Every structure is written in structure tokens, then in C-alpha cells.
Amino acid sequence: MGFYRVGIDESRRCFYSHIETSRAAALTDTHLTIPGLAGRYAIALFELARDSKTTESVEASCETLCTALETSIDLKNLTKNPLISRSNASKAMTAVAKALDLDPLTTKFLAVLGQNRRLAALPAILSGFTQLTAHHRGEITAEVTSAHALNDGQIAALKAKLKSRMGKDVNLVAHVDASLLGGLVVKLGSKRIDSSLKTKLDQLSLVMKG
């Protein structure tokens, strides 16, 4: 991983090469594997943040970016538009980072994703980065999707319940999906607990058809 220690501008070419040719997306010092292309990018960002001792600021930027992706249709469309040129995508993401006041490392990372046509993988990359930082702190990550934003009390109660069940501190990543109508969908590693009203109605519909 020697290239991570060179200057950020000089490392861009190596950054592309390392991510695209890596055979295993595994972080050996934490024994956590994040599969696929998104995993390789997530690990690259985590290692850059860890080595430069900017993990906390990068994590805060990633949380801000997650919220922006969920609330801004324009940003979501930008990351999914295959017609935008590499240079324009890179410039656009640099402008987004500036508007969101993201840290320098995350800003450069987004520019690299735009240049390398990997913006569509951004949600999965951010999710992977969150898992890595949580695991590094000895926590587990749970992704919770609700029809409406959870308040602080609900988040605290859910964390406590999951901690009692798993025996570890839980880092909660909250998402909002109005189509769920009500209830929660909780993803904890490979486990998925779906108590959403939408799923219950779908199941009821199937029963009635049967």
C-alpha cells in the first residue's frame, strides 16, 4: 500500500491502478471484507483517511454526502448520468463538495470518482466506508430505513435494543424511504429485518390473492 504515502496529486494515477487491479477487497488489519468494486474504493478511502489521521473529518463528510444524496434529486441524477464527461463529472463533484463544505480528502476522492466514471457506486462506497470505520472502532454497523426521519430518542432506543441483541456497540446509519409507509427495515450485515408497512401490505395482498 506504499502509494498511499505519496502526494495526493501524484497518487491519482496510482489510485486508479490500485483500485482497478486489486484482487481482494479486504482490510487485513481488521479482518473485514467489503466485496466488489465499491469495496475497493471504500477501503482506499478508509486507508487514506487512516494514514493521514483524518478519519473523523472524512466520516463527517461522508455522512453529509449521504444526506445530500437522499435529499437532492439533482445530485442523485448527477451521479447516475452516464452522458457527463469525465472532466465535467470531476468538476461538478468538486463544486458539490465545496458547497457541502466537505473535507479536502473527500473532495479529492469525489473528483477521482468523477474522473473514473464511478459516481454511480457512490452510495455503496459510502456504506462500505461507514462499515470500515465502525469496525475499526469495535462497532457493528446497522442500516435502518424508515418512512419518516427518526428522532434522537428513537435512534437511541434502537441502538440500545440492537446492542443488547448483538452484544456490541452499534453504529446506526439512517435512511428515509417514504414508500415504506411505516415501520422499519434493518440491515445488519447479511441479516435483514423488514417490519415495514409496505411489506406487510404486500404479504396481505398475496394471502388474499391466494
pLDDT tops 50 at residue 63: yes
pLDDT digits (tens, 9 = 90+) for 109-162: 999 999 999 999 999 999 889 889 888 888 777 888 888 888 888 888 888 888
Which of residues 68 and 33 earns the better pLDDT score?
68
What value does the mean pLDDT take over residues 77-83? 93
- Which pTM value belongs to this model? 0.66
pLDDT of residue 134: 85
Domain 2-134 has CATH 1.10.520.20: yes
Residue ranges covered by each domain of the chain: 2-134, 139-209
CA distance 210 to 205: 9
The CATH number that domain 139-209 falls under is 3.40.30
Task: Give me the helices (H) in the chain, please.
Answer: 8-21, 36-51, 55-71, 73-80, 86-99, 104-115, 122-136, 152-166, 197-209
Same fold for the pair 2-134 and 139-209 = no
